[in-house]
A and B are shown apart, each in its own frame.
Chain A
Amino acid sequence: MIEATGIERMFHAHGAFTGARVVRALRGVDFTLPEGGAVSFIGESGCGKTTLGRILAGLETFDGGTLRVDGVDVSGLSKRKRSGVFRGIQMIHQDPYSVLNPTRTVATTLAAPLKSVARRTDVAERSRELLTLVGLDPESVLPKYPHQLSGGQRQRVVIARALTVDPRVLIADEAVSMIDVSMRLGILSLLRDLRERLGISLIFITHDVATARYLGEGGELHVIYRGEVIERGPVETVIQSPVHPYTQCLLSAVPVLKGIEAPGPDRLVPRATLDAAADTPGCLFEPRCPFATEQCRHEHPSLGAQRIDGEDGSAGTQHACFHPAVRNVAAVDLHPV
């Protein structure tokens, strides 16, 4: 459905003292999103995942590689056709408040795309349908302005609005980060439902690994570091048996619920983050990696299904590391059911 090959993106920055600099936000990202699938990208701030999301939603251009949507290469399309294609890929942002017009009620916000884009005649009914679909009570929500709704409700309105144009893909960029922890599961279940009931594919971008688990069956997790994917595979496999040291650091950083969970036996103590270093010919993670060797300094590992400790890697997983090793860093449930 969406096929991205070798996506690259560079920004030109001018530091006051360092002169012109090229920041490589994405260094050749490949992935495939099947129909009705769910692919999650995790990484720290600045790793390029938001840029990737924006490129996939058509909000930003890219400098290298190809992007095919339903088999069609988007670079060759006219502006109008491109708008049409990207209309089927809707973005759900982190801050629901900023993407809703504060001077318009929910009713007007939903009516506009229903009337002008989807060209529906049953605008009022469809608005009600969509609001119910996202778990809101139409009667109480339709006349309200965005500032009169809670964060969770606003995010649901944003999702309802995205659904007005019948998208095939939803890109959720930190969609639950600004919502109270207690309400997050509600939004995540909603996304999962949309996937199961309407067959909408999901691209889920987050820094919170745990949330990636709740998107339904068959989800894939891709770990991004400084613009490249360094590990990927089925969500549960990557969380339980991570192989790349960076993934292991990320998972080690997840807080452990004392009394319910115990820290994973191989839990790494996270290292202090260094400021972004210059590009090196070797592995980008090497300066911060607890297991780096000389080889890592000089050679750049590429993404593949290398053998680990003499055994084949878990089915479907790939990683970019010269010394991969399974380490059980994720917290352990003290009272498994």
Chain B
Amino acid sequence: MSRSTWRVLTRRPGRVVGLGILLFFALLAVFGPSIYSGPLAIDPNDIYGSPSAQHWLGTDFAGSDIFRELVLGARYVLETAALSALFTVVIGTGVGLLAGYHRGATDSVLMRITDFVLTIPGLPLLIVLSTVWSFGRPLEMATALGVTGWGGVARAVRSQTLSLRERGFLEAARGLGLSSRHVIVRELLPNLAPFVAMNMLLAVIAFIGAEVALFFLGVVPFSSSNWGVMLNQAVFSGGAMDSSAALSYLLSPLVCILLITFGIVLFLDAVDELFNPRLRERT
């Protein structure tokens, strides 16, 4: 990592904390299932057990260890969210850039499509879709979420592009004879980078929320280690809203989601500086 990148990251302690949290969950998602391989052990004698030395976070409705479930479930949640954010941002940025740069007919057509996508009610559509499509794999869910969610990014990137267009350096680049492709990719995109990166991180938070909501509502196939399903079980089967027996079961995934969001928010602070060389010099 170059010196200036290191300096940007360590300038405020919050950023390091944020990055640490994100790295922790990323490692958990990648390596967790290998460490905790094998099917979940069921223990009918210890249903909704409280946290103990053997089960750090207690047990669920079937006596399985909650901690293990969290670790196993992390991968699906994070992979889906990351992929959805990637799709959304890539499609949205592409559309917004092209519309803003070329203007005219291209702009009109692309913006009408964007408007259409924006009007699609995301969550209800996904609920309906779930009746015919089981989102078993992260890629499937990510596609569904990503394809319906890029409208906002497209609009925002388009307006950024329109205002950047007025900057002299674009006109100069065209005057020198550089191609449109060069101008869009090499001149415009680097200036949009902080905006796009921030949107991507924020999109991850939004998508975690969206998919957990879907699972909570019970519209996707059951898989006990899924965080949303854990919430569903905790509230509807474990009576977490009434008694404290399933409290740990309810809180564990919630706290994880909270932590990830917190980590992203803290790390966001560094993103602008990372991409914008001008901000790095200031005290």
Contact = CB atoms under 8 A, between A and B. Distances in A.
Touch between A and B in complex, CB under 8 Å? yes
Interface of A: 57-59, 83-84, 86-87, 90-91, 93, 95, 98-104, 112-113, 116-117, 145, 147-148, 158, 161-162, 164-165
Contacts of B182: 112, 116
Contacts of B20: none
Contacts of A117: 176-178
Given A98-B169, A104-B190, A165 B176 contact: yes
B177 A90 contact: no
Contacts of A84: 177
B38 interface: no
Given A90-B176, A98-B168, A117-B177, 8 more contacts: A59-B171, A100-B169, A104-B190, A112-B182, A116-B178, A117-B178, A148-B281, A158-B172
30 contacts: A57-B175, A84-B177, A86-B175, A90-B176, A91-B172, A93-B168, A95-B168, A98-B167, A99-B168, A99-B172, A100-B169, A101-B173, A101-B187, A102-B191, A102-B276, A102-B278, A103-B275, A104-B190, A112-B178, A113-B176, A113-B177, A116-B178, A116-B182, A117-B176, A117-B177, A117-B178, A145-B278, A147-B277, A147-B281, A162-B176
B233 to A, nearest CB: 49
A279 to B, nearest CB: 30
A101 B178 contact: no
Contact of B191 (A101, A145, A161): A101
A162 B175 CA distance: 9
A90 B178 contact: no
Contacts of B137: none
A148 B4 CA distance: 15
Nearest to A118: B177
Contacts of B126: none
A58 B178 CA distance: 15
Interface of B: 167-169, 171-173, 175-179, 182, 186-187, 190-191, 193, 275-278, 281
Contacts of B175: 57-59, 86-87, 90-91
Interface centre among A101, A112, A161 (most CB of B within 10 A): A101
B276 A103 contact: yes
Contacts of A95: 168
Contacts of A102: 191, 276-278
B160 to A, nearest CB: 14
Nearest to A92: B172
Question: Considering residues A99, A148, A162, which has the most beta carbons from chain B within 10 angstroms of its beta carbon?
Answer: A99
Contacts of A164: 176
A147 B187 contact: no
Contacts of A90: 175-176
A104 B277 CA distance: 9
A58 B169 CA distance: 16
Contacts of B186: 104, 112
Nearest to B166: A98
A87 B190 contact: no
Contact of B179 (A87, A93, A99, A116): A116
A203 to B, nearest CB: 15
A59 B176 CA distance: 11
Contacts of B278: 102, 145, 147
A84 B190 CA distance: 27
B143 to A, nearest CB: 32
A111 to B, nearest CB: 10
Contacts of A112: 173, 176, 178, 182, 186
B145 to A, nearest CB: 31
A148 B187 CA distance: 19
A57 B168 CA distance: 14
A87 B177 CA distance: 6
B165 to A, nearest CB: 13
A101 B190 contact: yes
Nearest to B187: A101
